[in-house]
Chain A
C-alpha cells in the first residue's frame, strides 16, 4: 500500500513536470522562431543567444523524455500494485501506453537533434527537422488527455485540449526563455541589447497565446462543468476556479511587463524594463508553474458534468469557510481509537465523531499557530517592531504540536514505540519527516530574517511555499462517492492557492528590495504575510464533515 501510494503520487506529480518540460520544448521552439528569428539571416539574434535558447530547449526535451519514460514505468508499477500482477500485453495495447511511447521517442529524437545543433545553432535544416519532430509531439498529446476516454464530442475536445496545451506551452516556455536571456545578459552584451526587444516581441506572442487559452479554455470548461454547483461544488470545478484566479494574477504580471516594453518602445531608457521586469517574470513563473500542476491534476478529476448528483451545493462550500468557534478540546486517544475500525470499514461503515473532533482540534490549533504568526509578522511589516521578526518561531511550535498529534496510536502519546512506529508504518514515517521539516523551515526562516549573513537562506521560504502549494493543489483527489471528501478538499485547494500567492509575494519582496522597488517590495511582502494569515484563518475555523 505504501509503494502504491507513493507511485500514485509520483504518477500525478510527473504529469505537472511533463507539462513544464513540454512547455520548455514547444515554447522554446516558438521563441526561437518568433523572438530570435532563427529563420531570418538578416534579423536573427547572435549565435550565442540562439545557442542558449537551444540549450534550454534541449533541457526541456531531456526532462520530457525522462518524465514520460518514468510515467510509463510508474503506471506499470501502480497497475502491478493494484492488480497484484502486470498484464503487460494489455498495458502495451492501451492508447495511453502507445501515445506515451510515441511522445517519448519524439522527445529522444529532439534530444539527439539539439545535441547536433550545439555545433551549428543556425543551420536551417536542423531547425526544419526540429519543427518536423515537434508537430507530431504536439499532436500526440491528443491521446494523452481527458477527452480521449469520453464518448461525446471526443475528437473536438481532444483537438481543443491540444491547442489549449500548445498555447500554455508558448507562454510558459517563452517566460523560461526570457529568464534565461536575462541571465545571459549579465555576461553577454548582445543579450542585454536584445532584452527590451525580446520583452516587446514576447508581448505579442504571449498575447496571442492568452487569446488561444481563452478561446479553447472557455468551451472546455463549459463542456466539462456545465453548472454553478459543478463549478464550486466539485473538485474539477474548484480547480478550474483556482486556475482562473492564478491566470488573472499571471496576466497582471504579463500586463506590467508589456507596459514596460511599450514604454521602452516609446523612447524610455532603462527603468522598469531592467529594474523590475525580470523579477515580475520570476514571480509570474511561480504562478505559471502552479497553473500547470493544476492542469495536470484536472486530468485526474472526474468532470463535474458527469457527477451532478455528487456536486456539493454552493451553500455547503461557503459554510466550510465560514468562521466557527475554534475547537480547543480534543477527544481522548481511547475515544479516537475505539471508532477507527468502524470508520475504515467498507461494509458496515460507521462514521466516527471522535475522529472528526480529533481532526478539528488538530486543524484549529494549527490555525492558531499560523494566524498568530501572520499577526506578529504584520506588526513587523506595519510598525517595524524588532521582536516581531521572530515570527517564524511559530513553525517550530507547530512542528512540536504535530509531533504529538499526528499519529494518535504511536509514541509519545500512543502505545506503539517510536522506532517501531516510524519504520514500521509508512504513513507514520511520512508524518515524522513532515514534522521534522516544519521544524527545519522555522529554523531556516528565523535565521534568514534575523541573520544578515544568511541572505541565501531567504529564498528557501518562497521555494518551499511554492512546493507546498503545488502539492496541496495536485492532491485534490476527492474520493468522489463522498461529498464530505470534497468539502475537506475545498479548503486544502484554497490553501494551496494562497501558498502559491505567498511564495510569489515573498519572492518579489526579496527581489525588489532595492531603492527603486522599495514600496512594491513591502507591498508584495505584506501580501505574502496576508496570505499566510488567511491560511491560518481557514485552519482556525476548519470543521471536518462527519464521515
Chain B
C-alpha cells in the first residue's frame, strides 16, 4: 500500500462504515401528544388531527403525507395550531382500514425528522 493510500484509508473506511451503519432519519422533533389517541377517526368523516411536537416546527420546510393501503402517498397541507409546536393535519373522509400520517418535519433547532404515525379508521376505536 502506498503512503497516499494509507493516508486515505481511514477516510475510506469511515465513509464505508457510516454508509452501512443504521442511518435512519434524524430524530429530534417528536410528537408528544396526538388527538388520534383520544379521538378516533371515524369512517366517512373529514377530521383534523392535532399533533403536538416537543419543539418548534418550521412548517414551510416540512412535508406531511397521508399514506393509505398499498403505500399510496397523498400530500396534506397542514397548518400551525394555537399552541407552540402544535400542528393541525386535515384528513379527508376515509373509509375503514389502516392508514398512516408520514411526516418530514424541520425543527426549530435545525434537525429534520422523518417518522410515521399509523392509525386505524373504524367505528369503535383507532388504537392499534
Q: Could you list which residues of chain A lie within 8 angstroms of chain B, going by C-beta atoms?
A: 5-6, 8-9, 11-13, 75, 78-79, 82-84, 87, 90-91, 94-96, 100, 144-151, 235, 299-303, 306-307, 345-349, 406, 426-427, 430-431, 433-434, 437, 440-441, 444, 456-457, 460, 463-464, 467-468, 470-472, 474-475, 477-481, 485, 488-489, 492
Contact = CB atoms under 8 A, between A and B. Distances in A.
Given A302-B27, A347-B98, A479-B115, 17 more contacts: A9-B18, A82-B114, A96-B109, A149-B29, A150-B55, A151-B55, A430-B16, A430-B19, A460-B9, A467-B17, A471-B14, A471-B21, A475-B18, A475-B23, A480-B115, A485-B22, A492-B22
Contacts of B106: 79, 94
Contact of A299 (B68, B71, B109, B118): B109
Given A78-B112, A488-B22, A346 B10 contact: no
Contacts of A492: 21-22
A145 B109 contact: yes
A347 B67 contact: yes
Contacts of B104: 82-83
Contacts of A144: 110
In this complex, which of B6, B12, B17, B71 has the most chain A Cβ atoms within 10 angstroms of its Cβ? B17
Dominant secondary structure of chain A at its interface with chain B = helix
Interface string B8-42: 01101111111111111111111010000000000
Given A347-B98, A347-B118, A479-B25, A82 B63 contact: yes
A26 to B, nearest CB: 21
A434 B98 contact: no
A346 B102 contact: yes
B61 A90 contact: yes
Nearest to B114: A82
A288 to B, nearest CB: 18
B56 A302 contact: no
B108 A149 contact: yes
Nearest to A402: B20
11 contacts: A79-B61, A94-B106, A150-B54, A150-B55, A302-B54, A306-B30, A347-B67, A471-B17, A475-B18, A477-B23, A481-B115
Nearest to B66: A347
B46 interface: no
A467 B67 contact: no
Contacts of A306: 30, 32, 54
Interface in B82-118: 84-85, 98-100, 102, 104, 106-112, 114-118
Contacts of B100: 346-347
Contact of A307 (B26, B30, B84): B30
Contacts of B2: none
B26 A8 contact: yes
Nearest to B108: A149
A347 B24 contact: no
B110 A5 contact: no
A11 B27 CA distance: 13
Contact of A441 (B13, B30, B58, B63): B13
- List 4 A-B pairs, minimum CB-CB distance, nearest first: A96-B110, A149-B55, A149-B108, A430-B19
Given A82-B104, A301-B28, A464-B10, A346 B116 contact: yes
